[in-house]
């Protein structure tokens, strides 16, 4: 697992500890250095400008992109995110000029990496290449964290039923995380370094 991928999972963990959906994203430059970070803040109370907080647009990828210089171009940069981007985040990526995106965990409910994207003069100038998911433990953990959040929040909802229908393996990973004490660890506010090994082993 790369440093950028680990940072995404750490941000996802931070989001879960704050009560938000556990998704994290970072942007790296051509040398692989992390130049911007963001996490889901949909249910955060404290504002963190320039990131969006407490609303439907407060997605990890959008918040990472919000930290970029609007006058620069980013074709040689890459966004790394813990979860498959949704249509909103793919649209933000397309408009950001970032050249590539990599995601760890599949999202069979809201993920749109395989779907068609709008073809415009802008996207013709700045094509976006998307790769993922990982099928090993980091990928299963990223998807499992996402689903575990919804298992607790709305166990009979569309996100949970979608995962169970399309990716029962990831539903199993989420269940294993819950059984491993995921929410007790999050409630304790333990740092990612203290829980990462335990959570990776659970999936």
Q: What is the CATH number of the domain that holds 157?
A: 3.40.140.10
Q: With b meaning 16 or more CB within 10 Å and e meaning fewer, what string describes 26-38?
A: bbbeeeeeeebbb
How many alpha carbons lie under 13 Å from residue 190 in its C-beta half-sphere?
15
Per-residue model confidence (pLDDT) at position 23: 99
- For residues 132-145, give the mean pLDDT: 98
Rounded Cα distance between 129 and 156, Å, is 35
Rounded Cα distance between 101 and 103, Å, is 7
Would you say 169 and 135 are in contact if contact means Cβ atoms under 8 Å apart?
A: no
Percent over 70 (pLDDT), the chain = 100
Can you give the pTM of this predicted structure? 0.94
Per-residue model confidence (pLDDT) at position 193: 97
Q: How far is CA 120 from CA 79, 93, 101, 126, in A?
A: 21, 14, 19, 10
Q: 82 — phi, psi (to 5°)? A: -75, -20
pLDDT digits (tens, 9 = 90+) for 24-70: 999 999 999 999 999 999 999 888 889 989 999 999 999 999 999 99
| Omega before 17 within 30 of 0, i.e. cis | no
Domain that holds residue 28: 3-202
How many structural domains comprise the chain?
1
Would you say 80 and 4 are in contact if contact means Cβ atoms under 8 Å apart?
A: yes
Pick from 103, 96, 41: which is nearest to 68 by CA? 96
pLDDT reading at 13 higher than 90:
yes
């Amino acid at each position: 697992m790369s440093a950028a991928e680990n940072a995404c999972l750490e941000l996802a963990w931070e989001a879960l500890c704050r009560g938000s959906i556990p998704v994290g994203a970072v942007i790296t430059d051509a040398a692989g250095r992390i130049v911007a970070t963001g996490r889901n803040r949909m249910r955060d109370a404290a504002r963190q400008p320039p990131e969006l907080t407490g609303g439907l647009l407060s997605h990890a990828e959008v918040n990472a992109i919000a930290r970029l210089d609007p006058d620069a171009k980013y074709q040689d940069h890459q966004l790394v995110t813990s979860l498959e981007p949704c249509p909103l985040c793919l649209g933000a990526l397309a408009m950001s000029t970032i050249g590539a995106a990599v995601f760890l965990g599949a999202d069979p409910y809201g993920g749109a990496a395989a779907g068609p994207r709008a073809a415009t003069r802008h996207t013709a100038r700045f094509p976006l290449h998307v790769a993922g998911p990982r099928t090993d433990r980091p990928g299963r953990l990223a998807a499992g964290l996402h689903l575990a959040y919804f298992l607790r929040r709305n166990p009979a909802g569309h996100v949970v039923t979608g995962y169970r229908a399309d990716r029962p393996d990831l539903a199993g990973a989420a269940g294993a995380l819950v059984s491993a004490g995921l929410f007790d660890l999050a409630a304790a506010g333990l740092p990612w370094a203290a829980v990462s090994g335990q959570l990776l082993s659970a999936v």
